[in-house]
Structure 1
Amino acid sequence: MQNGKTGHGEEAQDKGGDPLSGAAPRLFEQALAILAGQIGQGTLPAGTRLSESVIAAQFGISRAPARRALAELERLGLVEKAEGRGYRVRETDGRRGISSTPSSLALGSEDLRLVPQSSWERIYGEVEDEIVARVSYGSWRLNEAELARHYNVSRTVARDVIGRLQQSGVIRKDERARWYAPALTPGHIDELYELRWLLEPAALVKAASNLPAGLLSRLRASLEEAIAHAHEIGGDTLDRLEQELHVELLGHCGNRALMQAIALQQSLLIAHRFLYRWTPRLFETEPFLPEHLAVVERLEAGNPKAAAEALEQHLRVSRSRAAARVAAVVEQVNPEPLSYLERLD
């Protein structure tokens, strides 16, 4: 991407782990957890310098998830920007007795590598991200042969990626059986949201009797924490909260066919990962937070019908906000040409 900011496209291995979307696990979160643990244990003492390239090499990931792990460590107060480039581990009160001798992150520990095992997973996140970043501007044809050539993978791997893009609703076939990603026009957004408010409340009612103990209290606590810090939360948190309600909770409905039908419309959730990243402060406070909380509270009160009604209302009012985010992204981001994506005007 080109807009004076670093391109998002290299975030190839950084997607959520929804089994219906086919996305690879979030590698930046895995790297973050390990690094935070090493800092807390003193394996990485105060003064240790960390950089994207070193972390990427350590974990066998691209620089983009390494960059996001470092940014989150900084947000948590565990590291700070170093002079020149990179970061250094901060001294904290919670690590008494830990050596403060600066060190560097050692390489070569194979048990720390986070590379996904499946070939398609290694490129899926980036392909999905590149497509989603462009559908705000128009529709795009996806060329399987060029996709394989671009990433130097087999046509079989390219087909696996395309199959999962289709499962998540990101791409579809035209009348000539060619793959394309439809533009997020206001009309298309309306259609997707209409299908969602017809399907998701039904799944919610079915899920209500199957929810594991503690799930609703955890979701409520997450939402209340986000509402209390509404001016501080970023796009990753907004994306996680969306996934908790619309994917994790609904996934307990027990009707796989219904969930597959919903997943085909949840390309909007995938798009929101990108949209939230660029527009986390589009509204003074994020409107969906109290709306999600209303759904959870009605479920906790034992009233799944009222919860379904609250979910439907949430989805009805959300479509205009999604269109506003798309319009805001168009003003900020300018996509680079890619050999496997052709703009359809």
Structure 2
Amino acid sequence: MPVTPPHEERLASRYEMIRNTLREAILAGQAAPGLVLVEGPLAELFGTSRVPVRQALNLLHEEGLIRRFDGRGYLIDPDGSATAPQRLPLTRKLLGLEPREDLIDNRSLGERIHDELASCVIRFMVFGHYRIDEQRAAEALGVSRSIVREALMRLRDRGLVEKEPYSQWLAGPLTAQAVIQDYELRVLLEPDALRQGVEGVTRDELEKMLARIVDAQEAGSRVERSAIEQIEQDLHVTCLAGLRNARMAAIIRQCQIPMNVGRVLHEALHTSTDEAMLQEHRLVFEALLHGTVESASSCLRDHLCRARERTLQRLKVLSVLPEPELPPYLERLA
């Protein structure tokens, strides 16, 4: 079975990377049937907390590659052969992962917690309004309260959470009205930001960005969600990074929250492809490579208008889906 390239795995969310890595090892027969997988040792192996490990194991269980048994953890049993449990120390070699140095997470602890809290907020904000408890988050993630507070302050700067003086941290809800308002600002600002920012992107980089879109189109329904997110990053972040107006750049970042709706829908329905988005992105990059920046800006404006309507439709789909299980540090508000 082909191994997902390391640079693509790093783009996926933490739990997806862990799920994909273990899935490949199980299907390739590298991780032996009967081996018991336990959250703690796996979290240490992947350099993360237990939260994304738990999510990854739940997905593998739903897929039927591992199963519960009379004991702690999960049993690798892709064929349902009722193999006897093997409780061995979990090592890279035992899981068939020894050559893959990319599993080592070199991010600081603060970065890991920031990313995990961001992923959690993004996943739940489309379902309602929530209070975030600093102390419970620290306990659940196994870090100090100050690290959690610092991460939440960074999320506030991104517009993902809010906090009034001496009050609780709040997240969501992402409403249809908020989506419409955010896209109104993006339609006004991003095309002009592209004119300025793309000056700092080389032709070679643009060609690689276009190639990623073409590869995703050819992959069709087999495209990885990480590839879709990289394509979004290419246009809406990398190509705008050279924007000289810092305040304008900050407003654009805060208005890009609706982009996360696609990720939430992917997690709920296990679908990655977005053919219309890919074609719209392709038109932008083809125009840029032809040197017609004005045409590219016009294509970007058209893409954002269409993306707004798709996002609103996705919100309607998500409104009828069951809310995921809440982590202990999130409390839904009435």
SS in 2 for 1:141: strand
Which among 111, 114, 131 is matched to residue 141 of structure 1? 131
TM-score by length of 1: 0.69
* Number of positions where the alignment pairs a residue of Structure 1 with one of Structure 2: 295
In structure 1, the residue matched to 2:112 is 122
197-206 vs 224-233, which moves further: 224-233
Match for residue 155 of structure 2? 165
Mapped partners of 1:138, 1:329: distance in 2: 11
Equivalent residue in structure 2 for 1:289, among 274, 278, 282: 278
CA distance in 1 between partners of 2:325 and 2:18 (Å)? 29
Do the aligned partners of 2:123 and 2:264 also contact (CA within 8 Å) in 1? yes
C-alpha RMSD over aligned residues: 4.1
1:60 aligns with 2:47: yes
**Kept in 1: contact 2:18–2:53 (CA 8 A):** no
- The aligned counterpart of 1:4 is none
5 Å-filtered alignment, 1:208-219, equals: 208-219=198-209
Does structure 2 conserve the Cα–Cα contact (< 8 Å) formed by 1:279 and 1:325? no
Q: 1:314 to 1:65 in 2, by over 3 A?
A: farther
Of residues 192, 195, 201 in structure 2, which corresponds to 1:205? 195
Structure 1 counterpart of 2:241, from 234, 247, 251: 251
SS in 1 for 2:130: strand
Q: Deviations over 1:147-199 (max 9, x none)?
A: 33443432311211101211222112358764322312111111111121122
1:85 equivalent in alignment to 2:53: no
Deviation digits for residues 82-114 of structure 1 (CA, Å, limit 9, x no counterpart): 9972679xxxxxxxxxxxxxx8347999x7762
- Give 1:56 deviation, angstroms: 4.9
- The answer for the alignment partner of 2:262 in structure 1 is 272
Does structure 1 residue 334 correspond to structure 2 residue 316?
A: no
Structure 1's 193 and 331: CA in aligned 2 closer, same or farther, altered over 3 A? Answer: same
Task: Verify the 8 A CA contact 1:81 1:87 in the aligned structure 2.
Answer: yes
- Give the structure 2 partner of residue 96 of structure 1: none
Q: Within the alignment, does 1:317 sit opposite 2:306 as a pair?
A: yes
For 1:28 and 1:148, the matched residues in 2 are separated by: 23
Counterpart CA distance in 2 for 1:299 and 1:106 is 43
Is 2:290 the counterpart of 1:301? yes
Q: Which residue of 2 aligns with 1:49?
A: 31
Identical-residue share of aligned pairs (%) = 26
Letter of the structure 1 residue corresponding to residue 292 of structure 2: N
Matches within 5 A, 1:11-50: 16=11, 47-49=29-31
Q: Which range moves more in the overlay, 146-155 or 136-145?
A: 146-155
Partner of 2:221: 231
- 1:95 corresponding residue in structure 2: none
The CA distance in 1 between the partners of 2:215 and 2:150, in whole Å, is: 38
Query: The residue matched to 2:320 in structure 1 has which SS?
Result: helix
